Chain A
Amino acid sequence: MISLLSIFQRRKRSETIDREGFVQRFHNYQEILRANRDALELMAELQQKLSGVFLFDRNYLITTIPRLENHLRTIIDQLNLLSDQRYTKLPEVLKMVMDLIQKELSRPQEIPKVSFTIPFRAIKKNMIFSVGGKCAHLGEIKNTFGFPIPPGFVISTYAFKTFLQNNNLHEKINHILTALDIKTLAELEEASKTIQQIVGETPLSQEILDSIRCSYEELTKEVGKPVPVAIRSSAAQEDTTLATFAGQYKSFLNVPGDMIEKYYKLVLASQFSPRAIYYFKSRGFEYSEIPMAVGVMAMVPVESAGIVYTRHPEIPQEDSLIINAVFGLGISAVGGETTPDLYRVSRKDPKNILSQERGKQEEVVVSASPGTVAHITLPPEKKNQQVLTASQITELSALSLELEKKFACPQDIEWAIDQEGKIFILQARPLKLRQHDRSTKTSTPKMAKANFPVLAESGAIASTGIGSGPVYIVKAFEDLKNFPPGAVLVSHHAPPDYTLVVDRASAIVTEVGSAASHIATVAREFMVPALFNVSRITEIVTPGETITVDAINGFIYQGIVQELLDSYQEARPPFKDTAIYQLLKKITQYVTPLNLTDPRGQNFKPEYCKTLHDITRFSHEMAMQEMFTLGERSSFPEGATKKLNIPQPLDIYLIDLGKGLKEVKPLSSGVTPDDIKSRPFLALWEGMNQVTWSGPRPVNLRGFMSVVARSASDPTVMEKLTYKNYVIITDAYMNFSTRLGYHFSSIDAFIGENIQDNYVQFIFNGGGADLTRRMRRARLISMILNHNGFNTILKEDNIYARGENLEAETIEKMLTVLGIVVVTTRQMDMAMYNDKIVDWYFQEFIRGNYSFGATIQK
């Protein structure tokens, strides 16, 4: 809704507009509507991608954002043409928002300049971009919390970056990857092979080699002798999904000190295995967005090794931790070739070993020739032994639980115990506990239908989800004031004003509407389920009764269907952990949230626009207001207008902007309603024509000004007295300003092909009677209009009413009602003796009796 004051101020603007000017502005208005629709559609698309169910890549973002920007530019430019440059602040606002978006889009991956190698003891938590997630985590385990890890160092991402810059390696790789179609397996394998070959052939720079050698010497000193090392990837990305990525890259065990460089390059090359390429390309990463660090760790002379989960991954509530243990290297435990020993230990008391299951280990994995391991038969005396003693189990458990405590989340830990019985942590990462799957099509509707009455079976899903709550029917904006949190908003339609309560609603159901409307956009933003086009729902439900809205399958049930609510969990699909998704999330915060929800609010100004959606909302509202007052500010020469020939004693002059008439008529001839094609006008006329005209021709009051001045307190009434009744039409549009008696009323309506463009606006004020009577008449009109689906603002003897975002037929019905009202209530202010009379007339209207007064035979 708008400020009545601003509409009246607009009307008072002095410049008049001629026919040319009107046609041009109408064109501007059409352009605004079109660009607004397009922009809202793109925003809806972006929100859809936010659901995480649809994959997309960087290219999508890079092409979609500029398209959106273009639409906004169109809206703003056209609005300024329409309004004679009233909104010069808007381009600045748009630029500000776009700058913020661009910043996110083009944020470069930072690889800090550090040493080529960094020992573990020097790693701090904030070095993740240098040493990768895995090693940063290990560094923290060692340095911050003091847990034992094998001695080692990390070859940094800076080394990686430097390596790429050698011999233009980066360009060569990029060239191959950009051209690659990952869906073709043969191409994928070919590309992988080529890249890995190139990587192998590119030498490391001397500085990097020296660095590695130096660090290895330090390692040797720390251990006491030269030992082979384990070389593992450690990719630099903040997300937890990178654990999955890391699984794509190779690790090498038992690497002798002088072969570190060779295996380092092999690890780097594994980034380009067919599987790895497919994984990161399909998720929209550029490979350079995942810079690789590589950890080099001394091989522990392993007696036993395995995994600890500090919670049961399948039954987290069991309150136990799980240990897998094998003799020899722990790969066999992870690889699934052996059945390891399984110990369950109480989390509350690590001494309390809940169960010990002996595994079945036939072979043990040991170090073999450089870079490899071997499977040899387990010595017989070990076959009958439990891998870990009770005290080892307790010690390991206690250590693991402490680790969990330090990181404040369940851990997945790889450990090894050396031949002297010392425990080492080889790796630790957050443990993924089992989550509920979210099935988008469940069989639950069948079950639900059996036990819960189905109130509706069809509807357009505007925002997915399932919600439940008490019904709260909204008929007019005022009803929103008492909207209870958690209720289901049920209404015939939901104009943009209703967005005020979206974040308090558990679901939204309307009888009409579109998924690209403002309210749908906001519902998706707040993840409130919304179902539109549920016919007659306002009649079907009872206020206060609890219903469940299934905006996934499109049902509405009576009562609370708990199974449905439970089955719908906000489980994060894996895509949400990807960098590209995170980027979209960062960008959409500047695109879709709507801050300017109330056109009457203080913040409904350009400077308060924080998102692109705010800008479109503001512009659309302003455009509508501009169009509304256009008719009144226009003046058309006599020749440009045609008199409407009608039986009623009413002077109406018609201006056809184009396609408003069935055929072109010579200016000299009059026009009858049968000649008119304008859909809104015809609907209005149907109403006006229905009413028996009672009383005389509305008077031109020059002669009776003195009488008028007594009763009319508004001095501007006088200057408008000689105003003509104009109607400006096209086939889809109508702007009708009229004075019947002493009041002023104006009707502006558009009925097109897109529901979100359809609207009708109405303004009415004045009258010949005293203020109290005029106010009563205004109240009567607003009651009638509210009853017929309008949103109204009433202030003293002024009314503003609007219906928008509705189907063509609905707008037509509303226009017909306007036609009846405008004719019938003219001079009815006279009869408004008291409020009981107002109610009497209202009841007559509802009954369909609106021909008051008798036809006067002159």
Chain B
Amino acid sequence: MQQKKNIKELVTPLENYPHLPYWATLKEALIQLGSALEDGINTVLVFNEAYKLIGILTPSDILRGIEPTFGQRFKERADFWSDLPSPATNERMMEPVKRFMSPARMAIDAEDSLFKALHIMVSEKQPLLAIQEHGKIIGVIKLDTIFKEIIEVVLAQ
């Protein structure tokens, strides 16, 4: 497949995403995500004290934080909404997001191919990937973005 674009052209700046330090609470993550969803963003980036990207919080991560039984064996619950949040949930809300985040994959380089980026994201089930250049993180690339490009190329045939 001919590469229409390279990674650098499809980079999304870090600033577009909400950020939190790893010691921020799950509640803060909810606040951030709640606001970001209005902008069409559904991931929170997690950094350490040196402002290094160390993880991401996807909606699934956060849901599991709110209620660990999500995604496990299904059992109908009539009291789902009325019980939300449960006391256990409230306790978990005060936990650091470090516990719930998906650790950020090592960043790929800006010179790497889109294909490599695509492979990592699909196999690791990560919606985005940090991009580094000369040792600095310059942004992230989203799976959605690459997917859009693929659609264009495929349908153009």
Enumerate chain A interface residues (CB-CB to B < 8 A).
694-696, 698-699, 701, 703-704, 706-708, 710-711, 741, 768-770, 772-773, 827, 830-831, 833-834, 836-837, 840, 852-854, 856
Interface check B20, CB cutoff 8 A: yes
In contact, B32 and A833 (Cβ under 8 angstroms): yes
Interfacial chain B residues near A836, Cβ < 8 Å: 35
- Seed contacts A837-B32, A852-B24; 7 additional CB < 8 Å A-B pairs: A695-B23, A708-B50, A769-B51, A831-B24, A833-B17, A833-B18, A854-B95
Pair B50/A704 contact, Cβ less than 8 Å = yes
Q: Do the beta carbons of B52 and A707 come within 8 Å of each other? A: yes
Is B23 a contact of A710 with CB atoms below 8 Å? no
Are A696 and B19 also in contact (CB < 8 A) when A769-B51, A854-B96 are?
no
With a cutoff of 8 Å between Cβ atoms, the chain B residues found around residue A854 in the complex are: 23-25, 94-96
Q: Are A853 and B50 in contact (CB under 8 A)?
A: no
B116 within 8 A of A: no
Cβ A710 vs Cβ B35 within 8 A: no
The answer to whether B23 and A853 have CB atoms under 8 Å apart is yes
**B49 close to A831 (CB less than 8 A):** no
- Measured CA separation A840–B19 after assembly (Å): 15
Q: Which residue of B20, B36, B39, B94 is within 8 Å of A830 (Cβ)?
A: B20
0/1 string, B57-81, CB within 8 A of A gives 1: 0000000000000000000000000
Q: How far is the CA of A488 from the CA of B144 in the complex (A)?
A: 61
What are the interface flags for B87-118 relative to A under an 8 Å C-beta threshold, 1 for contact and 0 otherwise?
Answer: 00000001110000000000000000000000
Chain A residue nearest in CB terms to B36: A833
Residues of B with C-beta under 8 A to A768: 51
Is B83 at the interface (CB under 8 A from chain A)?
Answer: no
Of B18, B28, B135, which is within 8 A of A852 by CB? B28
Instruction: Give the docked Cα–Cα distance between A831 and B45 (Å).
Output: 10
Q: How far is the CB of A829 from chain B (nearest CB, A)?
A: 9
* Docked-complex contact B52 and A704, CB < 8 angstroms: yes
B residues 2-30 touching A (CB-CB < 8 Å): 15, 17-21, 23-25, 28
User: Nearest chain B CB to A797's CB is how many angstroms away?
Assistant: 14
Known: A696-B23, A706-B136, A854-B96. A827 touches B35 (CB 8 A): no
Contact check, B21 vs A853: say whether CB atoms are below 8 A apart. Answer: yes
Chain A residues closer than 8 Å to B51, beta-carbon distance: 704, 707-708, 710-711, 768-769, 830
A699 touches B49 (CB 8 A): yes
Knowing A710-B137, A772-B15 are in contact, say whether A831-B21 is a contact too (CB < 8 A). Answer: yes
* Known interface pairs A854-B95, A854-B96; A699-B50 also in contact (CB < 8 Å): yes
The answer to the question of B31 belonging to the interface, with a C-beta cut-off of 8 Å to chain A, is yes
- How far apart are A97's CB and chain B's nearest CB, in angstroms? 55
How far does the alpha carbon of A707 sit from the alpha carbon of B15 in the complex, in Å?
14
A706 to B136, CA, bound (A): 7
- B19 touches which of A694, A703, A769 (Cβ 8 Å): A769
For A703, what are the chain B residues with a Cβ–Cβ distance below 8 Å?
A: 50
Beta-carbon nearest neighbor of B27 in chain A: A852
- Assess A837 versus B50: contact at CB under 8 Å? Given A696-B23, A830-B21, A853-B24: no
Residues of A within 8 A of B24 (CB): 694, 831, 852-854
**Contact partner of A831 among B18, B39, B95, B136, CB < 8 A?**
B18
Residue from B18, B21, B28, B36 in contact with A827 in the complex, judged by beta carbons closer than 8 Å: B21
- Asked if B31 contacts A837 (CB within 8 A), the reply is yes
Contact B96 A853 (CB under 8 A): yes
Inter-chain contacts of A699 with B (CB < 8 A): 49-50
CB distance from B1 to the nearest CB of A (A): 33
User: How distant is the Cα of A699 from the Cα of B47 in the complex, in angstroms?
Assistant: 14
Which 6 pairs between the two chains have the least Cβ-Cβ distance? A704-B50, A833-B18, A695-B23, A854-B96, A853-B23, A830-B19
- How many angstroms between the C-alpha atoms of A708 and B94 in the bound complex? 29
CB-nearest residue of chain B relative to A694? B23
**Do residues B96 and A856 form an inter-chain contact, with CB atoms below 8 A?**
yes
Chain A nearest CB, measured from B117 CB (Å):
21
Tell me the smallest distance from the CB of B109 to a CB of chain A, in Å. 15
Chain A residues, Cβ within 8 Å of B39: 834
In the complex, which residues of chain A have a beta carbon less than 8 angstroms from the beta carbon of B137?
A: 707, 710
* Closest beta carbon of chain A to B38's beta carbon, Å: 9
User: How far is A572 from B135 in the complex, measured between Cα atoms in Å?
Assistant: 81
Which residue on A lies nearest to B96, using beta carbons? A854
**A318, B51: Cα distance in complex, Å:** 87
Q: Which residue of B lies closest to A696 (CB)?
A: B49
Q: Which residues of A lie under 8 Å from residue B94 when comparing CB positions?
A: 854
Closest chain B CB from A101 CB (angstroms): 61
Q: Which residue of A lies closest to B53 (CB)?
A: A707
- Asked whether, in the complex, the Cβ of B50 is within 8 Å of the Cβ of A707, the reply is yes
Q: A686 CB to closest chain B CB, in angstroms?
A: 23
- CB-CB under 8 A from A853, the residues of chain B are 21, 23-25, 28, 96
Closest CB in chain A relative to B114 CB, distance in Å: 23
Query: B19, B21, B39, B95: which has the most chain A beta carbons within 10 Å?
Result: B21
Q: Give A708 to B135 CA distance when docked, in angstroms.
A: 12
Q: State whether B25 touches A840 (Cβ < 8 A).
A: no
